[in-house]
Structures are given as structure tokens and as C-alpha cells.
């Protein structure tokens, strides 16, 4: 009888081990992840989350004190490598997790255990390097670069219509210049923004506040010169993040007009740091010994950050950089009119002329773009696609010749076609973004031998 009971418990333990539903049994204090993994805070869950591949994600809940591994389904129509490069993660106040097209448009949401697309939109390509933030469970984006100009608008994603809309501020005598890559902070229904890259790629110094309830802009002041130099080193960040510069770690607070700096004893290979909602814990990422990987761990803030921090003013409230007088705007309008007239007069030939460094070229059997090896501008599959074109006669390929590149994991022909079109579109976007070229990157035509066969040609203007 006793042996029978023991045997029953043993079988029950095996069943539970094999069919435990949701969570991996791996509970870790430190994780090693691919370098391109996406790490972010989830304030609602008081946790840090890391998406490193298409099958599992990691979450560190402060209340639990360890990393837990969760299985999920990635329902994207692209490789996860492409997805991780082109979509930005964000968590709303209710804890929902989204991934947003880096140029704004397509939106993916983690629903139960599936990350899937939920929008009725498209690739806007209009707000690259904009400030992505949330307020009352709505996703917003300020500024950014796209369609050959910078923006100063705020857009938001309406989850009812599944589309992006323009947030219209109240009529005001002033609002910030168009820009990309600015710092930002959201607190108490206020969006704070500082610095950024302007229309002529100049670093801006102004600091602004936008009321998300009143929908009004308010000018706050100008950055001190020494702080402006600090800003130029970093991409657009939510100021809950800690910025690392050599042996110094900086914590910015626009709302309180403070810049805190810490001199760290050990910062070797430290590449990012995120604070949780209370500021008591920091998620640290260090380069791992394995190439292309990094280690992520959690530390207690007051144990990691040294004493003796200094606090300085981040911006000066009395300075003013812009003159909003009528004569200024009339002069600006006149200059823009003259520039537009001459640019139009030059015609299509002038508009499509690009500098030599903005071309594809072959040197010693190696292919370059913008003076750098292809791998510096494109991922491995994009590099393979371009290499095929550059080696081909007249830079032309039949579509079927590209299929071998995307034939992995036993795909259907429809999957191969989707992969092909996704990667060709990614190459078009990168070439357009990195050069002044405005024509077609790939020219479609029919084969001279068989009119049923479609041929793509890499535009010869782009090759020298």
C-alpha cells in the first residue's frame, strides 16, 4: 500500500513538471541576452522586461527579486531580428506591453501570451527618433524626422479606431521648433522636452512643457552650454533612464530643473541603466564575454550609486533664444520662398544628384555604402540581398533568384514572398534615410527573354 502511494506521488510530480503551463522553471539573478534585445520598465507591474527572441521574454518583478522566463508567441510577418531593430517597446499605466514602429504606424501588443499586430495603420515613416511616451494608457509621440523634414507635432494611437491621429494644441503665440532626438519626461499630466536635433542638424537648447490636459505649450528656458554638450551624446530617452558617459552617470529631472551626476568606481562595459518607478532599483546591462551578448542584472540604487552626488541647474529660465517678432517670420518666409524657387528650377536632375560617398561601390572585391562596408549600414540578410544585386549583370535580378536567400525554416512560397518584400522595403528606407536620393531604389521591369518573369534592378545612379 505504501509503495503504491509513493508511486502515485512520483507520477503526479512528473505530470506537473512536464505540463506546468505558463512559466519556465528558470529563476535567475542575472541573465545573458543578445545585444539587440529590448529592455524597458513596466511601472504598473513594478518590473523590468526584456524581449530577446521570438519564443521567450524575461521579467524581473521587484517584489519577487529574480528574473523569470515566460514563453510567448511572436505573430509578426517578419524575422524577430528585423522586428527588434525597427520597433520600440513601451508599457502603459495599466501594464499593457506594446511595440511601436520606430517611424510610427504599425503597433503590436502582447495579448495573453501572443505578441500580435493590432493597428489599422501603415508604416508612416514620419517620426523617426521621436519621443514615444504614454499618458492614461494612450501612446503618444512628439517630434521626430521623416519625409525629408523634422516635426514638432504630437500624434497619438487610438486603440478604438486602431489608427494614429494628430493631437491639436490650443492656439498659442509660441511652440517649439521641429526636432528629433530630444530628451523628455512625463509627470503629472505634463510632457517635458529638452534639446534635440533641429532642421539643419543643429543642436537645440530650448526646454518646453506641454500640458496633456490643457493641450498647451509653455516655454521654460535655455540649456546651459555645458549641459548642451552633454545632451549631444545620447539618443532620445525617457529621463527615468540613467545616462552613462565614461566614468560618469547622469540623472536628469526637467520638472525640478536638476542634473545629478555620479562618479562611478566601476563602469567597464556598462552600456545602459534603467530605474524602476520608485527609483530604488536599477537594471544594469554590461557587455558579456561572448561576442554580441550582454549580461543584465538588478542592483539596489543606494548601494550602486556612490555618495557625493552633485546637483546643478539644467537650464536657465531667464534666457531666450528666439525672436518671435513679425519681421523675423516675414524674413524667414521670404528666404524659404527664394530657396524653394531655385530648388524647383534645378529640376529632377538636380534633386536626384547624390554625393559620391552616398553610393554603392566595390573596392578590392568588397562592397561599400556611404564609404562604409555594407555590414555597417545593413543587417546580414539585407547585405546578402544587396551583394546579389551588385554582383549581377546590369545590377538586375529575377525575383526567383532572391528566393534562396529567404528560404529557411521550410517556409511556404507566400512566406518567402513576404520576407523578400519586407527586406527590400527595409533597404529602400535605409537608402532614402541615409542619402539625399529621392528616386526609386529598385526599378521593376519584365524580362526580355520571358515577359512573364519580373526583374528588379538596383538603380544604376546609386552605383559607381
Q: Would you tell me how many other CB atoms lie within 10 Å of the CB of residue 60?
A: 26
Quote the pTM value: 0.64
Predicted confidence (pLDDT) at residue 16 exceeds the cutoff of 50: no
Nearest Cα neighbor of 267 from 304, 312, 226, 307 is 304
Beta-carbon contacts of residue 338 (< 8 Å; ≥ 6 apart): none
Sheet with 38-42, strands from edge to edge, namely 27-28, 66-71, 56-61, 47-51, 38-42
**pLDDT reported for residue 323:** 43
pLDDT digits (tens, 9 = 90+) for 364-390: 667 777 767 777 778 878 888 888 888
Q: Answer whether residue 66 shows pLDDT above 60.
A: yes
- Residue 82's pLDDT band, with cuts at 50, 70 and 90, is very high
- The per-residue pLDDT for 171 is 79
pLDDT at 449: 80
pLDDT at 320: 55
What average pLDDT does the structure give for the chain?
80
Q: What is the pLDDT of residues 164-193, one digit of tens each?
A: 999 999 877 688 999 998 888 898 899 999
* Residue written as grid cell 524667414: 332
- Crossing angle (nearest 10°) for helices 380-391 and 413-434: 90
Q: Are 207 and 224 a contacting pair, CB within 8 Å? A: no
**What's the rounded Cα separation, in Å, for the pair 204 and 216?**
21
Q: How far apart are CA 393 and CA 398, in angstroms?
A: 11
Task: Report residue 354 as a C-alpha cell.
Answer: 547624390
Is the pLDDT assigned to residue 57 strictly greater than 60? Answer: yes
What is the rounded CA–CA span in Å between residue 37 and residue 53? Answer: 8
Cell numbers for 388, please give them.
Answer: 546579389
At residue 246, the pLDDT reads 66
Amino acid at each position: 500500500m505504501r509503495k503504491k502511494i509513493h508511486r502515485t506521488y512520483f507520477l503526479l510530480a512528473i505530470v506537473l513538471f512536464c505540463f506546468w503551463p505558463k512559466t519556465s522553471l528558470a529563476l535567475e539573478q542575472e541573465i545573458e541576452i543578445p545585444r539587440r534585445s529590448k529592455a524597458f520598465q513596466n511601472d504598473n507591474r513594478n518590473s523590468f522586461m526584456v524581449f530577446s527572441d521570438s519564443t521567450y521574454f524575461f521579467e524581473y518583478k521587484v517584489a519577487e527579486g529574480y528574473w523569470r522566463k515566460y514563453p510567448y508567441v511572436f505573430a509578426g510577418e517578419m524575422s524577430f531580428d528585423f522586428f527588434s531593430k525597427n520597433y520600440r517597446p513601451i508599457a502603459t499605466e495599466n501594464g499593457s506591453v506594446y511595440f511601436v514602429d520606430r517611424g510610427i504606424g504599425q503597433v503590436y501588443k502582447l495579448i495573453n501570451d501572443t505578441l500580435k499586430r493590432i493597428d489599422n495603420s501603415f508604416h508612416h515613416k514620419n517620426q523617426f527618433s521621436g519621443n514615444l511616451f504614454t499618458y492614461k494608457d494612450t501612446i503618444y509621440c512628439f517630434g521626430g524626422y521623416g519625409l525629408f523634414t523634422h516635426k514638432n507635432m504630437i500624434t497619438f494611437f487610438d486603440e478604438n479606431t486602431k489608427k494614429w491621429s494628430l493631437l491639436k494644441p490650443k492656439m498659442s503665440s509660441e511652440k517649439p521648433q521641429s526636432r528629433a532626438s530630444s530628451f523628455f519626461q512625463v509627470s503629472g499630466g505634463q510632457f517635458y522636452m529638452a534639446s534635440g536635433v533641429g532642421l539643419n542638424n543643429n543642436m537645440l537648447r530650448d526646454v518646453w512643457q506641454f500640458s496633456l490636459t490643457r493641450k498647451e505649450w509653455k516655454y521654460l528656458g535655455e540649456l546651459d552650454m555645458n549641459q548642451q554638450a552633454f545632451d549631444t551624446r545620447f539618443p532620445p530617452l525617457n529621463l527615468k533612464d540613467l545616462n552613462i558617459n565614461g566614468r560618469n552617470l547622469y540623472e536628469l529631472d526637467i520638472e525640478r530643473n536638476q542634473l545629478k551626476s555620479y562618479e562611478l568606481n566601476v563602469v567597464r562595459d556598462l552600456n545602459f541603466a534603467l530605474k524602476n518607478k520608485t527609483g530604488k532599483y536599477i537594471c544594469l546591462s554590461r557587455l558579456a564575454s561572448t561576442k554580441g551578448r550582454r549580461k543584465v542584472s538588478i542592483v539596489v540604487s543606494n548601494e550602486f550609486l556612490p555618495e557625493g552626488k552633485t546637483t546643478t541647474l539644467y537650464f536657465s529660465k531667464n534666457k531666450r533664444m528666439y525672436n518671435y517678432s513679425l519681421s523675423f517670420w516675414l524674413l524667414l518666409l521670404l528666404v524659404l520662398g527664394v530657396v524653394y524657387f531655385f530648388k524647383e528650377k534645378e529640376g529632377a536632375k538636380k534633386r536626384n544628384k547624390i554625393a559620391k560617398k552616398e553610393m554603392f561601390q566595390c573596392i578590392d572585391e568588397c562592397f561599400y555604402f556611404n564609404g562604409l562596408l555594407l555590414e555597417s549600414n545593413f543587417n546580414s540578410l539585407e547585405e546578402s540581398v544587396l551583394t546579389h544585386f551588385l554582383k549581377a549583370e546590369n545590377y538586375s535580378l529575377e525575383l526567383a533568384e532572391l528566393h534562396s536567400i529567404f528560404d529557411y525554416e521550410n517556409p511556404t512560397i507566400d512566406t518567402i514572398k513576404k520576407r523578400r518584400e519586407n527586406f527590400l522595403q527595409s533597404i529602400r528606407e535605409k537608402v532614402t534615410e541615409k542619402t539625399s536620393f529621392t528616386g526609386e531604389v529598385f526599378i521593376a521591369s519584365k524580362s526580355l527573354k520571358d515577359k512573364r518573369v519580373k526583374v528588379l534592378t538596383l538603380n544604376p545612379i546609386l552605383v559607381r
